[in-house]
Amino acid sequence: MKLPLPQSLTAQFALVVSCLAALVVAVSATTLYSLAGSAHAVRQLAEERLARQEDAHNLAQLTLMIERLALQLSSGETVDVVRETHRHVIEELATFDRLVDRLASATTSEGVSVDALALHRSSQRFRNTVNIEAQVREAALRAGVAPASAPGARTSSGSLEDDLRRQADALAAAARQQADYFTRDYRQAVQDLADNVDRTRKWVTGEVAVSLLLAWLIAHAFLGRHVVGRLRRVSHFLRHGDVDSAQAGVPVRGGDEIADMARAVEQFLEDRRQRRQAEQALKELNAELEARVTQRTAELSTALAGRTAEIVERQHAEEAARASEHFLDSIIENIPDTIFVKDAATLRFVRFNKAGEQLLGYRREELIGKSVHDLFPPREAEFFALKDRDVLKSQQLVDVPEEPVHTRHGVRLLHTMKIPIVDVRGEPQFLLGISRDITEQRRAEEELRRYREHLEDMIRERTAELAVAKEHADAAN
């Protein structure tokens, strides 16, 4: 039985998209649930199992430290050293007991057996032996007799040390046993987690495969047959329809948008047939118009022949002017000295080269259209303006050997030459300035002058010393 579809193509697409969305949501929910389970297992492994393994490892390390401290009791030379070592051993044993209690409490809820009682017994026996060893060592040190000097004391001390070593070995063996147990437990948990992740991966892969299969079935049934197939029939009839035939019906039925498009194609084919008739009449009219245009074009070609030569000559002149201007611009831009041009009427900058931008620390857009009063301190700007007016008034080159200029990089010393640029009537139109930065040159000269004075001072001092030495030599002779 064929399921009825909605009449509207939009509703049909909405139905298909809803099915696909439900499928995606189901797969996503299952995947998220699987990932959440894996994440919980990883977190539990990291927080609980790894912490217990670290505690067991610390327990084994602690037994070695306790054994090393306990063996130091027999080598203590003073009562204070023995007491301090004994206190450290007791503190480490207390830490050992706390680690055992923490491991026991952490594994009780999971049914994991930690022999806490055996560890506590070993710890207590070791503590008692350490107390006896400390008391014997203190008594011997108070009596002022070395424990190894008396035969009875030597035998007792050797027995206590042997007993202490055996109990320390037993304590270390019990701690290592627990550490090995927790290491195996951690490895087993990691293996279980890997198996669980592998099962989850296979489950998710299966769900994705099933989802892709269902999506392909839905797309094949709806898009392939119901939508694409009908559109292909409409497209085929649109491309290969007989425009001269009286019957232009498209074999697509239904009440959705594709059926409406089929009816629109039928109307389009009818309109195309009528348009071909109109195009035929238009071609005849175009042929007549082309004949008239050809005649008029010949007339215009004759009239424009003279204008073409004039235009070509003007274009050549303009190209030569542009090339000359580009050449001059390249020269000005690549000159290492600062070059600027001011308007003679307003004394505002109309041009600056790249060296000027680098010297003042301003961009060219910040300089064009500004006067010296906009860029420099008042006294400095007034000095520049006065020199500019002198140049325009005298219409001669003015050489300023040295002038301080405030820039964004600090005060610089410049050697500036200003020249008036006149028009054809001899009136000043622009002011050309060329400035060279002589700051480093002046600094070098000043440094050379100071160095020369320093050498002269040294020569005078040396001459005085030689004179005094000569007088002493003459007096000695």
**Does residue 158 share a domain with residue 51?**
yes
Q: pLDDT at position 45, please?
A: 59
**Does residue 191 share a domain with residue 104?**
yes
Of 165-179, 288-302, 417-431, the one with minimum mean pLDDT is 165-179
And the tokens for 431?
Answer: 């002011």
User: 410-459 pLDDT, tens per residue?
Assistant: 889 999 999 999 988 889 999 999 999 888 888 888 899 998 998 888 89
Residue 442 domain-assigned?
no
30 vs 49, higher pLDDT:
30
Residue type, 295: Q
Residue with tokens 């019957």: 247
Residue 173: closest CA among 165, 183, 163, 161: 165
Residue 129 domain-assigned?
yes
Domains of the chain: total:
3
CA 129, distance to chain mean position in Å, is 63
**Does residue 258 share a domain with residue 192?**
no
277, 278, 281, 283 alpha-carbon torsion, rounded to 10° = -100
User: 332-391 pLDDT, tens per residue?
Assistant: 888 888 999 999 999 999 998 888 888 888 888 888 999 999 989 999 999 999 999 999
What band does 193 get if pLDDT is binned at 50, 70 and 90?
Answer: confident
E strand or H helix at 267, and its extent? Answer: helix 257-334
Q: If you average pLDDT over residues 74-101, what whole number do you get?
A: 80
Residue type, 55: D
Burial of 337 (0-12, 13-18, 19+ CB in 10 A): middle
pTM of the model: 0.34
CA distances for 445 relative to 359, 377, 400, 405, 431, angstroms:
21, 27, 19, 19, 31
321 vs 228, higher pLDDT:
321
Q: pLDDT at position 143, please?
A: 79
What band does 13 get if pLDDT is binned at 50, 70 and 90?
Answer: low
**Does residue 148 share a domain with residue 102?**
yes
**Does residue 126 share a domain with residue 274?**
no
CA distance 372 to 378: 9
And the tokens for 48?
Answer: 């609980």
Q: pLDDT at position 147, please?
A: 47
And the tokens for 89?
Answer: 């051993």
Most confident of 24-33, 112-121, 215-224: 24-33
Residue 429 domain-assigned?
yes
Count of C-beta atoms within a 10 Å radius of residue 94: 12
Residue 358: closest CA among 305, 407, 312: 407
**Does residue 188 share a domain with residue 41?**
yes
User: 36-66 pLDDT, tens per residue?
Assistant: 776 666 666 556 667 777 777 777 777 777 7
In this predicted structure, the answer to whether residue 248 has a pLDDT above a threshold of 60 is no
Q: pLDDT at position 348, please?
A: 93
Of 90-104, 176-190, 282-296, the one with minimum mean pLDDT is 176-190
192 vs 3, higher pLDDT:
192
CA distance 363 to 349: 13
CA distances for 465 relative to 164, 360, 430, 471, 472, angstroms:
84, 51, 65, 10, 11
**Does residue 162 share a domain with residue 214?**
yes
And the tokens for 114?
Answer: 């930690």
In this predicted structure, the answer to whether residue 177 has a pLDDT above a threshold of 90 is no
CA distances for 195 relative to 30, 209, 422, 440, 467, angstroms:
18, 21, 95, 77, 101
The sign of the dihedral angle between the CA atoms of 247, 252, 253, 259 is: negative
Residue 172 domain-assigned?
yes
Residue 289 domain-assigned?
yes
Of 1-10, 306-315, 335-344, the one with minimum mean pLDDT is 1-10
CA distance 59 to 63: 6
User: CB within 8 A of 72, min separation 6: which ones?
Assistant: 85
57, 58, 63, 68 alpha-carbon torsion, rounded to 10° = 120
Domain that holds residue 76: 9-219
Q: pLDDT at position 225, please?
A: 63
CATH number at residue 393: 3.30.450.20
CATH number at residue 44: 1.20.120
Residue 474 domain-assigned?
no
**Does residue 116 share a domain with residue 206?**
yes
Range 62-67 contact pairs with CB under 8 angstroms and sequence separation of 24 or more: 62/92, 62/95, 62/96, 62/99, 62/175, 63/96, 63/168, 63/171, 63/172, 63/175, 63/176, 64/172, 65/92, 66/92, 66/93, 66/96, 66/126, 66/168, 66/171, 67/165, 67/168, 67/169, 67/171, 67/172
- Strand order through the sheet with 338-343: 349-352, 338-343, 428-437, 410-422, 398-407
**Does residue 344 share a domain with residue 253?**
no
Residue 191 domain-assigned?
yes
Helix, strand or coil, per DSSP, at residue 461 = helix
User: 132-165 pLDDT, tens per residue?
Assistant: 877 887 787 877 654 444 444 445 556 766 777 7
**Does residue 258 share a domain with residue 189?**
no
Q: pLDDT at position 418, please?
A: 92
**Does residue 195 share a domain with residue 59?**
yes
What band does 246 get if pLDDT is binned at 50, 70 and 90?
Answer: very low
State the angle between helix axes of 116-143 and 151-218 in degrees (0 to 180), rounded to the nearest 10: 150
Q: If you average pLDDT over residues 204-222, what whole number do you get?
A: 77
**Does residue 90 share a domain with residue 178?**
yes
182 vs 95, higher pLDDT:
95
Residue 448 domain-assigned?
no
Q: pLDDT at position 343, please?
A: 93
Residue 133: closest CA among 94, 170, 160: 160
